[in-house]
Amino acid sequence: MTDTAPHPGTERHWSADEATAQHGPKHSLDAPDSRGRTTIADTVAEKIAGMATREVPGIHNLGSGMARTIGGVRERMPGGQPSITRGVHVEVGEHQTAVDLDVVVDYGFPIVDVAADVRTNVIAAVERMTGLEVVEVNVAVDDIHLPEDEDEGEGDEHRVE
């Protein structure tokens, strides 16, 4: 049977220098953010802001009149996908970013409340995902989507199969 209890007088206490020599310095490396540089492209922040904007109830679409028209044509082409960044303009600096949005609000939603919800959601998403401080989110409401607008468009889409 082996005695695993330490015997009086045989315990070994390491000095700080001995511990460093044996295991290496614990904090010899700089903090991770001081050992390189991270850059975030404008398009990355634009995509995050676009997704965060589309999540808000009352947002029908993004983009001004001509951008929505051209985007709608692209989306209807085979293989076309909706543009997440349409109507989103972002300026990214080293530590801060500013966001400009062109939106279309659904009829019946209070525009002031929708704009406030968009700001809150965009700021939270961009700051959480990029670490950048959002200094401003400008929301331009370019149009309001009426329920009858959808009915007219549906008739044209299903005209020929």
Residue 85 phi, psi (nearest 5): -95, 0
pLDDT tens for 33-86 read 778 888 999 999 999 999 999 999 999 999 876 544 555 545 555 665 567 888
Alpha carbon 25 to its chain's center: 38
Instruction: Compute the residue count for the chain.
Output: 161
Rounded to 5 degrees, φ, ψ at 72 are: -65, -40
Compute CA distances 22 → 6, 12, 15, 29, whole Å.
22, 14, 11, 17
pLDDT tens-place string over residues 88-106: 999 999 999 999 999 999 9
**Percent of all residues in the chain with a pLDDT value above 90, rounded to a whole number:** 52
Tell me what the pLDDT averaged over the chain comes to: 79
Confidence (pTM):
0.67
CATH class of segment(s) 50-63+84-147:
alpha beta
| 51 DSSP assignment | H
